[in-house]
Structure 1
Amino acid sequence: MTPLSPTPRSTLTRKKDRGRTERAELHAVLNEGLVCHLGLVLDGSPVVLPTGYGRDGDTLYLHGSTGSPSMRAAATGLDVCVTVTLLDAVVYARSVNDHSMNYRSAVVHGRARLLSGDEKLRGLHALTDHLAPGSWEHAREVNAKEMAAVTVLALDLAEASVKVRDVGALDQPADVAADAAWAGVLPIRTSFGAPETDAECSVPVPAHVAERRVGPSTKPGR
């Protein structure tokens, strides 16, 4: 696994000690998140939109409607920025100024490439496996009309950064000595609930859906 190679855009300028250099840590953040935010300049104005994504190796796949202005613009070779943030805890400090959050975040810069044919199908497969693993083999295949209505972009992960905060309160020594307010960490836990079958569906809940309740997303912080 090769380390991240910072560029001027992906080099951290603040809290450099929170930066992570291993590409495996970039993959871990992307694997655990479910939604990314795609940022670009559209008609002279900045736009940041929540977007579905998936990863295969060092390629990030983005998914949207062919009618989406942001997807159409990104497909023309504009510079884009994609972010994924996992919030793990709220950090309470003795001073309001020193309150913080524990998090893991990834920022990817680059120019997306519009996919077609087998590459597009591979991207859709990666997107499906990321959001709803097991569904590609279980559900009906994408038909030609559906393929034509969706845009899939590929973004190389060559230019990326990872930042992590995973410690408790960092108070001023005088506030610690005064010990006048509570300090600590309030973890945030995200988990899947029980599957709710559609009213008109008679198919039993498949294992790839039921098993997500005990998967990685039930651990503290995600």
Structure 2
Amino acid sequence: MTTPPPSPLAPLSPTDRTTATRGRHRMVEDRAALHALLAEAMVAHLGLVVGEGDEAHPVVLPTAYAADPEGPDEGGTLYLHGSVAAGWLAPVLAGQVCVTITLLDGLVAARSGFHHSMNYRSAVVVGRPRLVRDEAERARALDLVVDQVVPGRSATLRPHTRKELAATAVLALPLVEASLKVRSGGPVDDEPDVAAGVWGGHVPLRLVAGDPVPDADAAGLPVPRDVAARAAALGDR
């Protein structure tokens, strides 16, 4: 009997490959928390092995992405943006990959060097990606990638040209095999260090946007609502 795939909001059930061996108390099983991180961050790092034999070596590449919790893959879909001319495309499709997405939330200043740390939210997704060939899914995935950067932007743009689509690769990775770790708050110091009266604490961090800067050819044009709203949402508040 075939086991049905988990619902998009089923708890995260990490496999051996996505189970932390250190700091397990920071693992989060709430799949909704994973979705929230994927919706907030903007850059993913794709890890893979390229080359063969003695020439094989690991590569980690930053890439634009978007997530669809209700996508067609088991557990939902993580879409990765790439180029058909990229040298890593064939190795990616030939095996397993690891994608990480991290947000840095703070710097932790402890009372000893050993306990200095950072506050973060970090997701790891492992699996075998597929090349998206269906035209409707591909178009939707590309719109999601654009909207990951500026929500609502894709609806204001012209359609992709055939040349652009022919040059663009979209990979889909199932979200079923994923894990999430979160650290927050201050340092976890040894009692003698605390008793010594040394200051300890943390410095919160967040991404802050400035005012939109028009391109030279857009001087004098009003800032689009979607861009202004994105800048305001990320503004210094």
- Please report the TM-score for the alignment, with normalisation by the length of structure 2: 0.88
In the other structure, the counterpart of 2:3 is none
Which moves more between the two structures, 62-71 or 29-38? 62-71
* Cα distance between partner residues in 2 of 1:30 and 1:89: 18
Runs of 4+ with deviation above 6 angstroms: none
Amino acid at match of 1:136: S
Mapped partners of 1:108, 1:218: distance in 2: 30
Q: Which residue of 2 aligns with 1:99?
A: 116
Q: Which letter does structure 2 place at the counterpart of 1:48?
A: V
The separation in 2 between residues aligned to 1:36 and 1:146, in whole angstroms, is: 22
- Structure 1 unaligned blocks of 5 or more: none
For residues 137 and 81 of structure 2, what CA distance do their matches in structure 1 show?
A: 13
1:11-34 residue CA offsets vs partner (Å, 9 max, x unmatched): 111111000001101111111110
- Cα displacement string for residues 135-174 of structure 1 (whole angstroms, at most 9, x for unaligned residues): 2111221100000001000011000000000120111000
Gaps of 5+ in 2: 1-8, 70-75
Give 1 or 2: higher strand fraction: 1
Partner of 2:57: 45
Contact 1:87 1:104 in 2 (8 A): yes
Determine if the alignment matches structure 1 residue 126 to structure 2 residue 137: no
8 Å Cα contact 1:62-1:152 kept in structure 2:
yes
- The Cα shift of 1:66 comes to 1.0
2:172 equivalent to 1:164: no
Q: Which residue of 1 aligns with 2:15?
A: 7
Q: Deviation digits for residues 67-121 of structure 1, max 9, x if unmatched?
A: 1112332133x10000001001110011111111000000000011101222211
| Counterpart AA for 2:120 | Y
CA–CA distance in structure 1, aligned partners of residues 215 and 200 of structure 2 = 45
1:218 positional shift: 4.9
Paired residues of 1:54 and 1:131 also in contact (CA < 8 A): no
Equivalent residues, number: 217
Matched, 1:22 2:30: yes
Residue of structure 1 in register with 2:92 after alignment: 74
Aligned-residue CA RMSD (Å): 1.4
